[in-house]
Structure 1
Amino acid sequence: MGGQDGRTALVTGASRGIGRAVAERLAADGAEVAVHYGSGEAAARETVARIERAGGRAFAVGAELGTDGDIDALFTGLERGLAGRPLDILVNNAAAAPGGPIETDTPERFDRLFAVNVRAPYFIVQRALPLLRDGGRIITMTSVATRMANPGQTSFAMGKGALETMTMTLASALGARGITVNAVAPGATRTETNGAVFEAPGLVEFITGGTALARLGSAADIADAVAFLASDDGRWITGQVLDASGGVHLGLRG
């Protein structure tokens, strides 16, 4: 696809995992990427270094989402790096760890989850709108957890569901500017930072047994989906949730 030469992108939570893969893919397509991090400055600078070693352009921006002043801190760094240029692509990827089940959730954990996973993306979009060029892209990471019952992730899925509603309504609101607004919903995705999760006996077999493509996802799988929506090839798609799960829970495989 490519075609991002001369464009700029902000990827939140890009110091590791899926966010890092998205930042690297957009940079490989030609965009200059603002690599946001919360507390992992060293990891974010490694993402920048990896992009630069591959011939791309990037800069790091630090802001702890879910705290007072988070949006101001993020956009102070972003605008410094953009140096007067517009923003072309916004990827809301940063998220707090899953919450639930209801029996053990706490108001404090719930509030933290929604502050990072719902409030921050919403107000990042609000603050980005004056910077975002007409014809730009907004892509938000949600989850297949919104389309299945998993009591262990109740509050997490609630937050991701809110983002999917946000995606649909903002697509309608921003269509007049030619801005597309979409979401990508990963399934079980193995990255360099969550490998231990999949070491539980039988877990990988259980997940892949219910996945049409019979494997776990990779960060690159998700990054490629984001890159498509961010590209000119995705220009006629808006208000959609793109399932990037390999076909989890479609039913029995033939």
Structure 2
Amino acid sequence: MSNEKTTAIALITGASRGIGKSTALALAARGVDVIVTYVSAEKEATDVVQAIRGTGRKAVALRLDLTQVGTFDAFVADVKRQLSSVWSRDTFDFLVNNGGSGGFSAFSETSEAAFDTLVDVHFKGPFFLTQKLLPVLADGGRIVNVSTGLTRYAVSGVAVYSAVKSALEVLTRALALELGPRRINVNAVAPGGIATDFGGGLMRDEQFQKVVAGETPLGRVGEPEDVADVIASLLSKDTRWITGQRVEVTGGYRL
């Protein structure tokens, strides 16, 4: 199999909607091919693939449940098959650990099951998925982990979510150090309030948007494209000397 690289390939988890979808489209617009993953929204993921193909880029959609670490070997095998059949390659270039789920509950009311789910989705899953994908990630590649502005400022009801995202940011620095010899840059992007359906679509509520905008120097809530463009920048050659960093994308919320 030829390992000659012509077009960069990105693998984006949770790319059927929100920030993941916008990132996939932003990268396609910049000439990058995309492997999209989804958990249950197969139609939405297929729509994203079709939109990418409409730009002239290649794309495929694969199912991935970040809470099921035992399925990761099969997923990686599927990635390898797609790389071979679609791209005649055995590596990809960019990994964006974006997949996630919301969870809102007071600390005193958080169940063990809810705790475990958030840890699995936002830390254990990305940890072991990245580990499994490392042999397939090209030297000189990039990893972007999607964190949250909530690791800097406190909001009631998201103690576990904020804590596991903090762990992901620490992991980002550790990976930047350990993968440096392979020239793999690893960074984290920390979005603030973004108008998506994440967490039940709270940020789409007009009254809540006004509250957030009132505490944001730039005077509005974020859009998925605001984050997607930053991720795309971190995957470009323009940011080749940046690694191990947390880049906040909040419009200056609660400075």
Q: Does 1:244 align with 2:249?
A: yes
Query: Please, which moves more after superposition, 203-212 or 156-165?
Result: 203-212
- Map Cα deviations across residues 170-229 of structure 1 (whole Å, 9 max, x no partner): 101111111100000000001366784245563111100111111111111100000000
What SS class does the counterpart of residue 150 from structure 1 fall into?
A: coil
Q: Tell me, yes or no, if the aligned pair for 1:210 and 1:248 is still in contact at 8 Å.
A: yes
Which of 204, 220, 235 aligns to 1:215? It is 220
1:114 corresponds to: 119
2:184 corresponds to: 179
2:37 corresponds to: 36
1:82 corresponds to: 83
Query: Please, which moves more after superposition, 34-43 or 185-194?
Result: 185-194
Instruction: For 2:133, give the aligned amino acid.
Output: A
1:60 corresponds to: 61
- Change in Cα spacing, 1:210 to 1:232, as seen in structure 2 (3 Å) is same
What is the distance in 2 between the residues matched to 1:97 and 1:47? 22
- Map Cα deviations across residues 65-124 of structure 1 (whole Å, 9 max, x no partner): 202523123212211111143110000000121343212110001101111110110111
TM-score (norm 1): 0.92
- Change in Cα spacing, 1:214 to 1:120, as seen in structure 2 (3 Å) is same
Q: Does 1:233 align with 2:238?
A: yes
- How high is the sequence identity, in percent, across the aligned residues? 39
What is the distance in 1 between the residues matched to 2:177 and 2:224? 29
Instruction: For 2:182, give the aligned amino acid.
Output: R
Instruction: For 2:192, give the aligned amino acid.
Output: G
What is the distance in 1 between the residues matched to 2:201 and 2:34? 29
What SS class does the counterpart of residue 113 from structure 2 fall into?
A: helix
What is the distance in 2 between the residues matched to 1:222 and 1:7? 20
2:153 corresponds to: 148
Q: Tell me, yes or no, if the aligned pair for 2:169 and 2:246 is still in contact at 8 Å.
A: yes
Which of 109, 123, 136 aligns to 2:141? It is 136
2:99 corresponds to: 94
1:73 corresponds to: 74
Q: Does 1:10 align with 2:15?
A: no
Query: Please, which moves more after superposition, 50-59 or 216-225?
Result: 50-59
What is the distance in 2 between the residues matched to 1:223 and 1:204? 20
Q: Tell me, yes or no, if the aligned pair for 1:63 and 1:73 is still in contact at 8 Å.
A: no
Which of 196, 216, 219 aligns to 1:191? It is 196
Q: Tell me, yes or no, if the aligned pair for 1:99 and 1:113 is still in contact at 8 Å.
A: no
- Map Cα deviations across residues 110-153 of structure 1 (whole Å, 9 max, x no partner): 10111111011011110111111111000000000001111210
Instruction: For 1:247, give the aligned amino acid.
Output: G
Q: Tell me, yes or no, if the aligned pair for 1:27 and 1:58 is still in contact at 8 Å.
A: no
| RMSD between superposed Cα atoms in Å | 1.7
2:165 corresponds to: 160
What is the distance in 1 between the residues matched to 2:91 and 2:192? 32
Q: Tell me, yes or no, if the aligned pair for 1:24 and 1:51 is still in contact at 8 Å.
A: yes
What is the distance in 2 between the residues matched to 1:5 and 1:248? 40
What is the distance in 2 between the residues matched to 1:248 and 1:203? 14
What SS class does the counterpart of residue 213 from structure 1 fall into?
A: coil
Instruction: For 1:38, give the aligned amino acid.
Output: V
